[in-house]
Chains A and B, each alone.
Chain A
Amino acid sequence: MAITEKMTKTTTPTHWEGDIPVRFVYTYGLAGETFFRAIKDKGTFLATRCDACDVTFLPPKIYCDRCFEELDKFVDVGTIGHVDTFTVTFKNMDGSDKAKPRILAMIRIDGTDGGIIHYLEGISIEEVALGLPVKAIFKPKGQRKGGIEDIIGFGPVE
């Protein structure tokens, strides 16, 4: 078959199906353990800071990736940030249309050099813009399990 020809019948060769049957157990890590515990118990974000490199990591790291020094002081940076960039998702994984388009944004948390990727809630496509101030919306405390899904999304700052 020449390189310019298109294979249209992919089922023609005799074939069978297979899979790679592996599952995983992940740990939060030392920084992640502290970060997600603060989300679960206090509904706030903790960051670590490297004074020498003038970088505030969110999500936090236990080391500065610039100078490799250990970072062991966690600071509460609150839950307010602004939209650094965003996209609107129209399709599901299988190619079907979403019932309602969703806005996924990278939110730069104020006072940090880091950010969180999450959905925007209560903000329309017409309203969303770079620089828009937003605030994290958490699930009720009793429903939080310590994970990124404890955050429902980011909504308007009242």
Chain B
Amino acid sequence: MGMRKVAIVGAGITKFVRRAQETGKELSWQASKMALDSCGITLDDVDMVTLGTAPDAFDGVHMKGEYLADGAGAHRKPYMRHYVGGGTGVFSPIHGWMHVASGMADICLVVAEEKMSSCHPHPQGAFLTIFDHTTEQPLKPTLIWIFALEMNRYMQTYGISKADIARVSVKNKHNALDHPSAQVAEEITVEDVLASETLCWPVNRLDISPASDGAAAVVLASERVARRLTDKPIWIDGVGMSIDSAYWATRDLSYPRYVETAARMAYDMAGIKEPAKEIHIAEPYDPFDYKELHHMEGLMLCPRGEAARLTAEGYTARDGNLPICPSGGALGVGNPIAATGLMKVIEIFLQLRGEAGKRQVPGKPTCGLAQAWGDLMQMGTVIVLRS
């Protein structure tokens, strides 16, 4: 398509916590500085900056992109904020990729930030008004409603139990024990998940990721610059995005068709014909445990309805055939929305470099993907990386 090759050459990430003393700007600076230092460049070397962050209502700052700009390293540089809800964090490097692939920038700093603790008493409050004001808001919906309806539909369609799904939470919280940024890493059992309080059946508390504060950043470079900066560039070989209608009641909730569409776009670009074989490692978005399974199927990493069985067999464990969320995911590391998606991209970056430390998966993976999902349960964002 006449576009330049783009690599990730550096990454940084803060701790994910329930309430950070740092402001959103300070969190953004910590992650961005870490990313620049990791590849030995300074802010002077950065041509453009792009920042991903979810609703302004989380941080409680309207025009949050503008507010965060100087913390994200955008001082007197071309700068854009992007936002596709929960899909933002994986859209972030796609947005940066556009700047570099097009030739506009040789180095683009990509930052993702969220400070959800500002929203009081809980960020769920900000979700109350995302629903249609005529047909849904009068019913006083919460965000968990939709997940509960979708999870139930998914379970019934494929005959999957709550215990089958709980294994994802157990796996991810375990994996997160090895992640230095982790907020809710712990050894738990399927019984713990099933015994945690029911919030909105079939969703229990331990089926859900927490609200978090945190930031992450990556440095993207054109091929020429990337080869000068590092011996281990990780190439962005495919990107995909797809959005469905916000009127979620009109679609089949058992299968995220829009994730499949986004994945197909990324696979076509990366020349991937058989994703289940060619993708060695993946970080699908897991704000709820069943969503990891739902997304694995939408990404065509396994046949529909099979993800739960594969999880039970250990296929998706860190030492399994297809490690899924070896970082610990949103369920274990935490879920500062935009920063979570970029954390997942960073995990694939580190794994493909062989620099994931205690989290390193065996078998020297060379191709991985990260995926996020959001807006009003309608947005799929996918990125395919290769070493």
User: Does A27 make an interface contact (CB < 8 A)?
Assistant: yes
User: Does B311 make an interface contact (CB < 8 A)?
Assistant: no
Q: Is the CB of B120 within 8 A of A27?
A: no
- B residues in contact (CB < 8 Å) with A: 19-23, 25-26, 29, 32-33, 36, 42-44, 57, 60, 70-71, 73, 75, 117-121, 125-126, 128-129, 133, 137
Q: Is the CB of A24 within 8 A of B120?
A: yes
* Complex partner residue of A29 from B26, B33, B70, B137, CB under 8 angstroms: B26
Q: Knowing A20-B57, A66-B75 touch, does A27 contact B20 (C-beta < 8 A)? A: yes
Q: Is the CB of A67 within 8 A of B44?
A: yes
Q: Knowing A65-B75, A68-B29, A68-B73 touch, does A25 contact B120 (C-beta < 8 A)? A: yes
User: Does A95 make an interface contact (CB < 8 A)?
Assistant: no
Q: Is the CB of A68 within 8 A of B32?
A: yes
Question: Among A20, A26, A27, A70, which residue has the most Cβ atoms of chain B within 10 A?
Answer: A27
Within 8 A of B (CB), among A1-58: 18, 20-33
- A residues in contact (CB < 8 Å) with B: 18, 20-33, 61-63, 65-68, 70
Q: Is the CB of B126 within 8 A of A27?
A: no
Q: Is the CB of B126 within 8 A of A22?
A: yes
Looking at the assembled complex, report how far the CB atom of A76 sits from the nearest CB atom of chain B, in whole angstroms. 22
Looking at the assembled complex, report how far the CB atom of B214 sits from the nearest CB atom of chain A, in whole angstroms. 14
Contact residues in A for B19 (Cβ distance below 8 Å): 25, 27
A66 to B43, CA, bound (A): 8
Q: Is the CB of A24 within 8 A of B43?
A: no
Contact residues in B for A23 (Cβ distance below 8 Å): 119-121, 125
Q: Knowing A22-B125, A67-B43, A68-B32 touch, does A30 contact B118 (C-beta < 8 A)? A: no
Looking at the assembled complex, report how far the CB atom of B178 sits from the nearest CB atom of chain A, in whole angstroms. 27
Q: Knowing A33-B21, A65-B70, A68-B43 touch, does A26 contact B60 (C-beta < 8 A)? A: yes
Looking at the assembled complex, report how far the CB atom of A22 sits from the nearest CB atom of chain B, in whole angstroms. 5
Q: Is the CB of A29 within 8 A of B119?
A: no
A36 to B78, CA, bound (A): 33
* Complex partner residue of A70 from B33, B73, B120, B137, CB under 8 angstroms: B33
A31 to B25, CA, bound (A): 11
Q: Knowing A21-B125, A21-B128 touch, does A31 contact B26 (C-beta < 8 A)? A: yes
Q: Is the CB of B22 within 8 A of A29?
A: yes
Contact residues in A for B22 (Cβ distance below 8 Å): 27, 29-30
Q: Knowing A21-B128, A33-B21 touch, does A63 contact B118 (C-beta < 8 A)? A: no
A25 to B118, CA, bound (A): 5
Looking at the assembled complex, report how far the CB atom of B165 sits from the nearest CB atom of chain A, in whole angstroms. 30
Contact residues in B for A24 (Cβ distance below 8 Å): 60, 118-120
Closest-by-CB residue of B relative to A33 is B21
Contact residues in A for B20 (Cβ distance below 8 Å): 27
- Count of inter-chain pairs, beta carbons less than 8 A: 76
Q: Is the CB of A63 within 8 A of B119?
A: no
A20 to B60, CA, bound (A): 12
Q: Knowing A63-B71, A65-B75 touch, does A27 contact B21 (C-beta < 8 A)? A: yes
9 pairs, CB–CB < 8 Å, chain A vs chain B: A18-B129, A20-B128, A22-B57, A24-B120, A27-B117, A30-B26, A68-B36, A68-B73, A70-B33
Closest-by-CB residue of B relative to A20 is B129
Closest-by-CB residue of A relative to B23 is A29
A67 to B45, CA, bound (A): 10
A27 to B118, CA, bound (A): 8
- Other than A30-B22, A63-B26, A63-B33, give 19 A-B pairs with Cβ distance below 8 A: A18-B137, A20-B57, A20-B128, A21-B125, A22-B119, A24-B118, A25-B117, A25-B120, A27-B118, A28-B21, A28-B23, A30-B21, A30-B26, A63-B71, A68-B29, A68-B36, A68-B42, A68-B73, A70-B33
Looking at the assembled complex, report how far the CB atom of B226 sits from the nearest CB atom of chain A, in whole angstroms. 21
Contact residues in A for B118 (Cβ distance below 8 Å): 24-27
Q: Is the CB of B33 within 8 A of A68?
A: yes
Closest 10 pairs between A and B when the two form their complex, measured CB to CB = A29-B23, A24-B60, A65-B70, A68-B43, A25-B120, A65-B75, A63-B29, A22-B125, A20-B129, A23-B120
A25 to B29, CA, bound (A): 21
Contact residues in B for A22 (Cβ distance below 8 Å): 57, 60, 119-120, 125-126, 128
Closest-by-CB residue of B relative to A31 is B26
A25 to B21, CA, bound (A): 11
Looking at the assembled complex, report how far the CB atom of B18 sits from the nearest CB atom of chain A, in whole angstroms. 12
Contact residues in A for B44 (Cβ distance below 8 Å): 67
Closest-by-CB residue of B relative to A67 is B43
A25 to B70, CA, bound (A): 22
Closest-by-CB residue of B relative to A29 is B23
Contact residues in B for A65 (Cβ distance below 8 Å): 70-71, 73, 75
Looking at the assembled complex, report how far the CB atom of A58 sits from the nearest CB atom of chain B, in whole angstroms. 14
A48 to B81, CA, bound (A): 28
Looking at the assembled complex, report how far the CB atom of B183 sits from the nearest CB atom of chain A, in whole angstroms. 17
Contact residues in B for A68 (Cβ distance below 8 Å): 29, 32-33, 36, 42-43, 73
Looking at the assembled complex, report how far the CB atom of B142 sits from the nearest CB atom of chain A, in whole angstroms. 13
A62 to B43, CA, bound (A): 16
A12 to B121, CA, bound (A): 37
